Structure 1
Amino acid sequence: MTALTAPPGERPVLHDHWRSSASYRVRIALNLKDVAFDRAAVDLVVGEHRRHDHLELNPQGLVPVLQIDGLVLTQSLAIIEYLEETRPGPPLLPGDHAARAHVRALALAIACDLHPVSNLAVLARVEALAGAEARAAWNRDNIAHGLQAVEAMLDHRGSTGRFCHGDRPGMADCALIPQLYNAARWQVPIDHLPRLSAIADACAFHPAFTAAHPAHFNPSREAKIVRGDSS
C-alpha cells in the first residue's frame, strides 16, 4: 500500500483521533451519507500520528485519513467534498450556486480560520511560551471570536431553516458541531448566539451527529453523550 492508494472494494477505514475536530467532521459526513466504515484509532496525545506507518498514509502527520474506493484521502473538507461528489444523496451542499458558495464559506471559516489556531500543536506551543493560563485564555478568546463571526455569517439572505442552510444538515453543520463541542469543553458560552444555539439543538438528537460524538470513541469511556459535555 502506498500513500495514494488503498485496496479497492474494501470497507472504508477512517484513521482518526476520538476528540479531533477534523475527524469528528468526517464521521458526521460519513453517517449523513450512510457510509458504513471501520475506524483505526490514532492517539495524537502519545504521538501515533508521527509514526512511520501513519506518515506513509499522510505525510503531514495529521488526522483524519480515509481509505475509500482504493484511495487514501486526507484533509477533512476535501474528504467531505469527495463523499459529496461520489455519493450525491443525501446532498451535503445545496443546489443553488450562491448557496453552495455560502455553505462552503461557513465550513472554511471554521476549518481554516478558527480551528487551526486551536489545535493541539498550537496550544502546546502557546503553553510552552507563556504557561497554562495563557493557553486557556488564547483558546477561549479564539473560539469566542470565531463563533461570533460564524453567527454573523449565518445572518445571510436565504440562510433560513433549522440547520446552517435550510432544514437538512450539510457540510457547514459537519464543521460547526465539532467546534461547538470544543466550545463546551473550554467553557465558552454560546447562549448569546441564537442561530448557533438553535443549530446545536437541531443536531443534538440527529442520529448522524449523535453516532459521531467523541464520547462514543473516548478510550477512557468517561465522557457523557450530552450537549454541553466538558470532558
Structure 2
Amino acid sequence: MNEELRLYSYWRSSAAYRVRIGLNLKGLAYETVPVHLLRDGGEQFAPEYAATNPQKLVPVLQHGQRLFRQSLAILEYVDEVWPSPPLLPATSRERQRVRALAQLVAADIHPLNNLRVMRFLEQDWNVPQPERDVWIRHWITEGFNAFESLLRDHPATDTFCDGHMPTIADCCLVPQVYNARRFGLDMARWPTIAAIEQACLELPEFRDAAPDRQPDAPQQS
C-alpha cells in the first residue's frame, strides 16, 4: 500500500482534524489539499470539488486513485489498511464502546454546530451571532455532559478514552474540545474530558494535527 495519500482539508474543520490525528498516529505521510470553507462563498461549492465530494464537505482522503469520504469511515479504513498501531480496541465490546463515544461527538454534537448549520441560521433565518453562540454552547454542553458521564468511573477509561492508547474516540474528542474552547466553555466542568485532552496533546501526533499548525492556517502576525 505505497500509493500516495492526499487529504482534502480545512485547517479549522473538526472532521478533517480527526482524520489528521488518525493519519499521524499511524505515522502516514500525506499531502494536504486545502479547501477554504469561507473564501469566495466556500471553495467546497466549486464544481471541481463537488465532483470530488457531492456532499461539498471536508475531509476527503484520496488513496491512489480512490476517494474516501466521512471522517469516521476514513479512520476505520485507515485502521484496516494500516492496522498498527490500532485505532480500535481488541474485543467487540470494547470496539462498540469506542465507536459509541466517537459517534457521540461526530453524529450528535458536531453536526448541530458545523459551518453549514451556522450559515443557514445566519443567512436564512437571520439569527444574530450572540444567539448562534448560545446554540453552539448549548449543544456542546449537552454532549459533553453525556460524554463525561460515560467516561467517569468506567473501568476502561484510563489515560485515554479507552485504556493506554489513543483510539478513534480520542481522535474525535480533541477537536471538539478545541471548538468548546473557541466558544468560551470552561473545560473545568468536565474534568475527565479535560485530563484526556491534556494527555492527548502531550503526543506530537495530536499537536501536529492542531488547526494552527496546518499549512492553510492564517499566518500569525
Which band: TM-score by shorter chain? over 0.9
Question: How many residue pairs align between the two structures?
Answer: 216
Q: Is the 8 A contact 1:15 1:42 kept in 2?
A: yes
User: Which letter maps to 2:104?
Assistant: A
- Structure 1 residue 87, shift from structure 2 partner: 0.6
Match of 2:187, SS state, is coil
User: Which letter maps to 1:192?
Assistant: R
- Structure 1 residue 191, shift from structure 2 partner: 0.4
Q: Check if 1:42 corresponds to 2:35.
A: yes
Q: Look up the match of 2:8.
A: 15
Going from structure 1 to structure 2, the CA distance change for 1:57 and 1:158 (only over 3 Å counts) comes to same
Residues in 1 aligned to 2:158 and 2:65: alpha-carbon distance in whole angstroms: 37
TM-score (norm 1): 0.89
Q: Look up the match of 2:218.
A: 220
Q: Is the 8 A contact 1:27 1:212 kept in 2?
A: yes
Residues in 1 aligned to 2:220 and 2:202: alpha-carbon distance in whole angstroms: 20
- Structure 1 residue 157, shift from structure 2 partner: 3.9
Q: Look up the match of 1:5.
A: none
Q: Check if 1:158 corresponds to 2:158.
A: no
- Structure 1 residue 178, shift from structure 2 partner: 0.2
Structure 2 residue runs of 5 or longer lacking an equivalent are: none
Residues in 1 aligned to 2:201 and 2:2: alpha-carbon distance in whole angstroms: 33
Residues in 1 aligned to 2:154 and 2:133: alpha-carbon distance in whole angstroms: 35
Across the aligned residues of Structure 1 and Structure 2, the Cα RMSD in angstroms comes to: 1.5
Cα deviation 1:67-95 (Å, max 9, x = unaligned): 01431000000000001111100000000
Q: Look up the match of 1:70.
A: 65
User: Which letter maps to 1:68?
Assistant: H
Residues in 2 aligned to 1:62 and 1:104: alpha-carbon distance in whole angstroms: 22
Residues in 1 aligned to 2:2 and 2:87: alpha-carbon distance in whole angstroms: 24
Residues in 1 aligned to 2:8 and 2:149: alpha-carbon distance in whole angstroms: 34
User: Which letter maps to 1:116?
Assistant: P
User: Which letter maps to 1:30?
Assistant: L
Question: Which range is displaced more, 144-153 or 111-120?
Answer: 144-153
- Structure 1 residue 189, shift from structure 2 partner: 1.1
Match of 1:40, SS state, is strand
Deviating beyond 6 angstroms after TM superposition, the runs of 4 or more aligned structure 1 residues are: none
User: Which letter maps to 1:13?
Assistant: R
Q: Check if 1:98 corresponds to 2:98.
A: no
- Which of these residues, 56, 61, 81, is aligned with residue 61 of structure 1? 56
Residues in 2 aligned to 1:78 and 1:156: alpha-carbon distance in whole angstroms: 29
TM-score (norm 2): 0.93
Residues in 1 aligned to 2:92 and 2:64: alpha-carbon distance in whole angstroms: 28
Map 1:69-148 → 2, pairs under 5 A: 69-128=64-123, 129=125, 130-148=127-145
Match of 1:137, SS state, is helix
Residues in 2 aligned to 1:10 and 1:84: alpha-carbon distance in whole angstroms: 16
Structure 1 residue runs of 5 or longer lacking an equivalent are: 1-7, 224-231
Bigger relative contact order, structure 1 or 2 (CA pairs below 8 A, ≥6 apart) = 2
